[in-house]
């Protein structure tokens, strides 16, 4: 095996047969389930378990992120939705309409993450409006995390099934 064939294998755009794609998919969902509304999950657990200063630190970080999410959605929400919709439509059309595997792979990561983003925005607005604190807030964030993990699980399953189908189709044709 020469150097150039090794390089081509590393940057292969056939995403579903590329190890880097699966590493990126796992990293994306691991990160999404660890950072809930911009707060690391270990900080939520520490605040629930220890209280005191850990709870105050958690509350301050969550408040800062809720304010940031609220500001961004009020200032650039419409433009962000329009750009995201255009990007998702483009990826879906190129991927599934024209058969571009790289776009299929990106869509299968970006679309569920867009759902998580919308869900997080809704949760941030609900927390802001309801003013919940303490144990009720911890429970709400725990349920939000479980929903994020459920979307991730379903997404990984669908991506794996679609990827296997693509790899079987390509290996049969070549």
The 10s digit of each residue's pLDDT in 116-166 is 999 999 999 999 999 899 999 999 999 999 999 999 999 999 999 999 998
CA dist 67 to 57, 70, 116, 117, Å?
15, 5, 18, 15
Specify the pLDDT at position 8.
63
Q: Whole-angstrom Cα distance, residue 109 to residue 64?
A: 27
**Cα torsion for 25, 27, 31, 32, to the nearest 10°?**
10
Asked whether 119 and 148 are in contact (CB, 8 A), the reply is: yes
Q: Is the pLDDT of residue 11 over 70?
A: no
Find all residues with CB under 8 Å of 88, minimum gap 6, and list them.
107, 110, 111, 114
Specify the pLDDT at position 52.
93
């Amino acid at each position: 095996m020469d150097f150039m064939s090794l390089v081509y294998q590393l940057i292969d755009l056939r995403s579903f047969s590329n190890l880097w794609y699966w590493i990126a998919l796992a990293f994306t969902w691991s990160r999404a389930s660890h950072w809930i509304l911009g707060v690391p999950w270990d900080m939520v657990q520490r605040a629930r378990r220890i209280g005191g200063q850990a709870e105050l630190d958690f509350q301050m970080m969550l408040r800062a992120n809720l304010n940031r999410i609220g500001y961004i959605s009020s200032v650039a929400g419409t433009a962000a939705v329009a750009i995201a919709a255009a990007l998702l439509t483009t990826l879906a059309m190129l991927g599934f309409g024209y058969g571009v595997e790289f776009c299929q792979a990106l869509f299968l990561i970006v679309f569920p993450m867009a759902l998580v983003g919308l869900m997080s925005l809704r949760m941030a607005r609900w927390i802001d409006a309801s003013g919940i604190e303490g144990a009720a807030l911890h429970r709400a964030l725990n349920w939000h995390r479980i929903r994020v993990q459920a979307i991730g699980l379903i997404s990984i399953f669908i991506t794996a099934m679609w990827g296997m189908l693509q790899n079987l189709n390509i290996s049969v044709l070549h």
